[in-house]
Structure 1
Amino acid sequence: MKRLLLLALMLAPVPLAAQDMASAPGGTLRFLDKVTGRVQDLSLSRGQSVALGRLTVQLDECRFPRDNPAADAQAHVTVVDTTATRPMFTGWMLASSPALSAMDHPRYDIWVLSCDSGFVAPEVTEPEEDPDAPLEEINEG
């Protein structure tokens, strides 16, 4: 009996700590026309939609890990084909795993790249050098 209980505990799934997610005011999606090879990045605000060929793409929500804004984006997207009566895709797309919840269309492909987290990387400045200072020598050893 003890062995059975121990085996059950070992096989039980370990709960993972939930990431604290933040909602972004917008995000960036990538659009690919497989026939023409045209690639376009779409910066959309939450709730905004754009018409691309026969498709209308709407960004419903975009979330990112609060403690790491440059990390994995998660976007809820709705895609409507103008020739159809209902959305051809509605669901969450993950930047780290685009094939996990992909839109199935013979001509077009859309996936999420990032969320607009408001994170601004600090500017990188070149160190000021004294033009009259001697150059450092490289010693070959």
Structure 2
Amino acid sequence: MNTAGAATNLEGATNLEGDGALLQGLDKVTARISPIQAPLSKSVHFGTLEIKVHRCVKHPPEETPESAALLEIFDVRPGERPIVLFRGWMFASSPALNALEHPVYDVWVKDCLNAKSPPSPASKSPQ
């Protein structure tokens, strides 16, 4: 499946925009699953990972359920430069489609936070 095409399908005018993303992280060493609330454009940490959400879009309730987040995930270790592990869209309905590849951690999208309709162009005030 082409992830660019899937992302385009989520960018329609009827989709809801989130204030961030609800993610889940798995520590494969301890087998613990942790919820991660990641607001837009703010870094959150899970183990050695630093996660930044750039967008989160969701289908409205009357359509087929789907949430997707545009993420950047870095491996950050003391005294070393951050390493980019993932940059792209992750989809809640297909976590394996575009997954983080890491020996210790898995991260996947569950939902968007506070998803609401984006303002229409006509309702924006002129500047």
TM over 0.5: yes
Q: Which residue of 2 aligns with 1:59?
A: 53
Structure scoring higher RCO (CA < 8 A, sep ≥ 6) equals 2
Structure 1 residues 97-136: aligned runs within 5 Å: 97-116=94-113, 117=115
Aligned partner of 2:98: which letter?
S
Structure that is richer in strand per residue = 2
Please state if 1:80 is matched with 2:46. Answer: no
Q: Which residue of 2 aligns with 1:96?
A: 93
Aligned partner of 1:99: which letter?
A
Counterpart CA distance in 2 for 1:107 and 1:93 is 19
Counterpart CA distance in 2 for 1:73 and 1:118 is 12
Aligned residues: 102
| Deviation per residue, 1:40-81 (Å, 9 max, x gap) | 101121112212221111111100113548921000111100
| Deviation per residue, 1:18-56 (Å, 9 max, x gap) | 563232112200000001111110112111221222111
- Could you say what the CA RMSD is over the residues aligned between the two structures, in angstroms? 2.2
Counterpart CA distance in 1 for 2:20 and 2:85 is 22
Please state if 1:48 is matched with 2:28. Answer: no
Counterpart CA distance in 2 for 1:86 and 1:96 is 27
**Structure 1 length normalisation: TM-score?**
0.64
**Larger Rg, first or second structure (1 or 2):** 1
Counterpart CA distance in 2 for 1:114 and 1:30 is 10
Counterpart CA distance in 1 for 2:91 and 2:30 is 25
